[in-house]
Amino acid sequence: MTRNRESSYVWVTWLPPLMAGSKVCQWGSWFKTHYQDYTKVPSDFQMTNYLMQHTQLLNQLIKIRTDKGDKIKRENQNYFNVKRTSGLTIGGKPDLVAMNSNGIFTVYDAKTGQPNDAHVIQVMLYMMFLPYAQIEYKKKEINGSLVYSDLQESPIPASAIDADFQKHVTYFLDILSDSTAPQKCPSFNECKFCDIAKIECPERIEYNTPMTIEGNEPEIPF
């Protein structure tokens, strides 16, 4: 049963699509920030297939890094919660954090899909929050790296976490933590990637209804 959270909470992966502009309906992430135990859309075989591919890719990446002599921490070992002065908590769980022989930390995120800006932002958020979350990273510079199915690394330098990036993060966190909900922007392409069921969001669009009827498209007068 849907219920209010005792305090607002944001999972890191809710932010990147909003910040990159690939998700325009801010209401879904706002709703999850303020409510929990909501009714979800049932997962399908595509999610199961993604999870298996991701696990395999992550295992391959771990072998590469350990063969190079890195000390690693994976997934649940990297779980964190950090709290803003406003009371908002941000949680996350990076795929892999590795420390090389020179004592340099790198956050790795394994992705099975096509590269996009939201993936970069997700890693940057991990780089930003980890020094506040776990004592071993305190006051340390943390690099980042995206790894796709070809196992080629796309590095992100620690210097990417600058004042401008922090301002962008603050802007979107303020939207999600606000007591007033953003306007909904339902569309098939938005809703198909949202796990909030129609009983929670009656405006949810579950079928791709064509805007015009084939053979009767309106004529453009030019």
- Asked whether residue 82 is domain-assigned, the answer is yes
- Asked whether residue 14 is domain-assigned, the answer is yes
Beta pairing class for 71-74 and 96-99:
antiparallel
pLDDT of residue 208: 81
pLDDT digits (tens, 9 = 90+) for 109-151: 999 989 999 999 999 999 999 999 989 999 899 999 999 999 9
pLDDT digits (tens, 9 = 90+) for 41-64: 988 778 889 899 999 999 999 999
- Asked whether residue 75 is domain-assigned, the answer is yes
| CB count in 10 Å sphere of residue 174 | 12
Q: What is the mean pLDDT of residues 7-31?
A: 97
pTM: 0.92
- Asked whether residue 218 is domain-assigned, the answer is no
Number of domains comprising the chain: 1
Distance of CA 142 to the CA centre of its chain: 18
The band of 105, judged by pLDDT with boundaries at 50, 70 and 90, is very high
- Asked whether residue 16 is domain-assigned, the answer is yes
- Asked whether residue 204 is domain-assigned, the answer is no
pLDDT at 5 over 90: yes
Scored b (16 or more CB within 10 A) or e, 136-150 reads ebeeeebbbbbbbee
The CATH number assigned to the domain holding 172 equals 3.90.320
pLDDT digits (tens, 9 = 90+) for 171-220: 999 999 999 999 999 999 999 999 999 999 999 999 887 655 566 666 76
pLDDT of residue 218: 65
Distance from C-alpha of 80 to C-alpha of 89, rounded to nearest angstrom: 10
Residues 6+ apart with CB under 8 A from 202: none
- Asked whether residue 212 is domain-assigned, the answer is no
- Asked whether residue 208 is domain-assigned, the answer is no
User: What is the domain range of residue 33?
Assistant: 3-191
